[in-house]
Chains A and B, each alone.
Chain A
Amino acid sequence: MPILSLNIRAALLSVVMLVVGLLIWEAAIPGQKAVAELTEYEILTGAGSAKAGVPPPSAVIAKAWEQLSNPFYDAGPNDKGIGIQIGYSIYRVLTGYFLAALVAIPFGFLIGMSQVAYKAFNPFIQVLRPISPLAWMPLALFIIGDSEASAIFVIFICSIWPMLINTAFGVAGVREDWVNVARTHELGPIKTAFTVILPAAAPTIVTGMRISIGIAWLVIVAAEMLVGGTGIGYYVWNEWNNLDLTSVVFSILMIGVVGMLLDSAFGLLQRRVTYVE
């Protein structure tokens, strides 16, 4: 009997685990009693109305089908499709993230090129880096005033550090030999930066970018719970207030899927810039 390839075996195992997991989950949720079976007393005390509870997977799948078949509907401030909510979150994440990249990568480059700058900036970076990005929120709200811009600022501040540190580290660690190759070929500083140092440090820089986008996606959910209005984080909190746990579970899954897609986009980029010495 031919043995299936490793990937196929792994995929089969994944499917089996998923099915078994869903079945256990389904079986573990007690069904609600039909109204007809209740005593009059029970009906009078309100047991007939639907009870909030953790939904079975079948309910979540039905919800997903309903939501994903019309993801962009907009029926007022508290009732928007999941596509619109995720769109807002991605827009905030990408705006804050690219602003951060615009600052962190050139700045990291400069710090990485100069040992003095590296050492001089290091204490500030080390103090600012461990601050939870949400701790900036009150200050951002007060100074910026606008909640939308504050959310973007929080994304900016949380994604700047991994990119800054990795860029500086990557640039500082470029092999002396390669810099010497540039020097013996009389390349100017700008040309050296782009043709030698940038490609040499690119794998480290992209790793930093990948860490940053992951953190940004983690933070946006919490930030949107605070600022409200729109976004997937707001959606989760809003459905919790509605006690619609099916929507909560569904949106949790969506957060995971979008996070995975963002990460794999950077994974692709990382594979392109990686080289073997």
Chain B
Amino acid sequence: MKPYLSIEKLTQRFPDGAGSDLTVFENASFGVEKGEFVVILGHSGCGKSTIMNILAGLADPTSGVVVMDGKEVKGPSLDRGVVFQNYSLLPWLTTLKNVTFGVKARYPDWSKAKVEEHATKFLAMVGLEGDVIHRKPSQLSGGMRQRVSIARAFANHPKLLLLDEPFGALDALTRGTIQDELLKIWGQMEQTVFMITHDIDEAILLADRILLMTNGPQARVAESVEITIPRPRKRTEIVEHPNYYAIRNHLVQFLGKRSKELAGQLTNDGETNRPEYVRIDKTEAPDDPEDKQPALRAVNS
């Protein structure tokens, strides 16, 4: 049974300027289930953003396919909403008009009043209400702009929501509040989300599963780490959870050391090159060898 979103042996090569090709990533394969929140972590240059652009349909891979809901992904579509790192709001439109812009594209036969009501509702869901929604993006703070961008994406009910380092340009405190807003709106919508980030704590807070990429060139998705912390999660409470630091250590070790060592190698599953599944759960009985093994191996290697 194929997952809802299936990325199969995706390869991207760019000319390196010296006559030959640079392979950014090779045979990257993974799946995302419906309603799942998946975060991808990896160093700069491993091609995360390129994968994001391919999923969005804004770029074409050199080889490999992306299949969503039984159909191959070709070109951009309203089924795949994107929140870009730099917000990508249209600066000549007001906040509300930026959201109605998307809603109108998604539901062309809705009346003007219905479109505005829908947009206002989603802006309120990310905490933007009243006078603020009639301001231009230039009159908003970075955090507020990113909220507008998130509201625009959620208001369109895409089958897949792509978040490209959405909080990368924000300060730590603002990032925290918007992460909470994102969790809240995601909890209400059962939205399938695929997100890029550099921030390990952010990934643990938000994700159901974290995909780890090896370093580029010839990067690939090496591991898929399940986040065994129950929802709803609060940033102040999850740090107390016994699994938190175990998972965090695993991620730090991977990014600090193993992402380099594993670069250019295939996974054990050479045929499909699916990532190795890792589950770390300290709350379960310690004599369960199946769950314990990958965690130990990961920490020791």
Instruction: Name which residue of chain A comes closest to B77, CB basis.
Output: A186
Closest approach, in angstroms, between the C-beta of A202 and any C-beta of chain B?
8
Q: Is the interface of B mostly helix, strand, loop or mixed?
A: loop
Chain B CB within 8 A of A119 CB? no
Chain A CB within 8 A of B138 CB? yes
* A-facing residues in B77-101 (Cβ within 8 Å): 77-78, 80-82, 84, 86, 88, 90-92, 101
Closest approach, in angstroms, between the C-beta of A38 and any C-beta of chain B?
72
Complex CA distance for A202 and B106, rounded to whole angstroms: 26
Closest approach, in angstroms, between the C-beta of A105 and any C-beta of chain B?
18
With A199-B92, A275-B91, A275-B92 already in contact, the answer to whether A180 and B84 are too (CB < 8 A) is yes
Complex CA distance for A185 and B77, rounded to whole angstroms: 6
Chain B CB within 8 A of A181 CB? yes
Contacts of B211 in A (CB 8 A): none
| Binary flags per residue of A191-229, CB closer than 8 Å to B gives 1, else 0 | 000011001101000000000000000000000000000
Closest approach, in angstroms, between the C-beta of A12 and any C-beta of chain B?
35
Contact assessment for B86 and A200 in the assembled complex, using a CB-CB cutoff below 8 Å: no
Contact assessment for A277 and B88 in the assembled complex, using a CB-CB cutoff below 8 Å: no
Complex CA distance for A183 and B102, rounded to whole angstroms: 11
Chain B CB within 8 A of A7 CB? no
Contact assessment for B88 and A181 in the assembled complex, using a CB-CB cutoff below 8 Å: yes
* CB < 8 Å neighbour of B78 from A180, A186, A196: A186
Complex CA distance for A40 and B288, rounded to whole angstroms: 134
Contact assessment for A184 and B76 in the assembled complex, using a CB-CB cutoff below 8 Å: yes
Closest approach, in angstroms, between the C-beta of B7 and any C-beta of chain A?
18
Chain A CB within 8 A of B258 CB? no
Complex CA distance for A199 and B91, rounded to whole angstroms: 9
Contact assessment for A275 and B105 in the assembled complex, using a CB-CB cutoff below 8 Å: no
Contacts of A178 in B (CB 8 A): 88, 90
Q: How many B residues touch the partner, as a band?
A: 20 to 34
Chain A CB within 8 A of B175 CB? no
With A180-B58, A184-B81 already in contact, the answer to whether A277 and B76 are too (CB < 8 A) is no
Instruction: Name which residue of chain A comes closest to B93, CB basis.
Output: A199
* CB < 8 Å neighbour of B88 from A180, A187, A199: A180
Complex CA distance for A158 and B19, rounded to whole angstroms: 46
Closest approach, in angstroms, between the C-beta of B156 and any C-beta of chain A?
8
Chain A CB within 8 A of B56 CB? yes
Complex CA distance for A202 and B90, rounded to whole angstroms: 13
Closest approach, in angstroms, between the C-beta of A204 and any C-beta of chain B?
13
Contact assessment for A195 and B91 in the assembled complex, using a CB-CB cutoff below 8 Å: no
Contact assessment for B84 and A177 in the assembled complex, using a CB-CB cutoff below 8 Å: yes
Contacts of A180 in B (CB 8 A): 56, 58, 76, 82, 84, 88
Contacts of B76 in A (CB 8 A): 180, 183-184, 186
Given contact pairs A184-B58, A275-B136, A275-B138, enumerate 13 new A-B contacts (beta carbons under 8 Å). A177-B88, A180-B82, A180-B84, A184-B56, A184-B80, A184-B81, A186-B76, A187-B105, A199-B90, A200-B90, A275-B91, A275-B92, A277-B91
Give A residues with C-beta under 8 Å from B. 177-178, 180-181, 183-187, 195-196, 199-200, 202, 273, 275-277
23 residue pairs bridging A and B, Cβ less than 8 Å apart: A177-B88, A178-B88, A178-B90, A180-B58, A180-B82, A181-B84, A183-B57, A184-B56, A184-B57, A184-B77, A184-B78, A184-B81, A185-B78, A185-B102, A185-B105, A186-B76, A186-B105, A199-B90, A199-B92, A273-B92, A275-B91, A275-B92, A276-B91
Give B residues with C-beta under 8 Å from A. 56-58, 76-78, 80-82, 84, 86, 88, 90-92, 101-102, 105-106, 136, 138, 156
The 9 closest A-B pairs by CB, nearest first: A276-B138, A185-B105, A275-B92, A177-B88, A183-B76, A275-B91, A184-B76, A199-B92, A184-B82
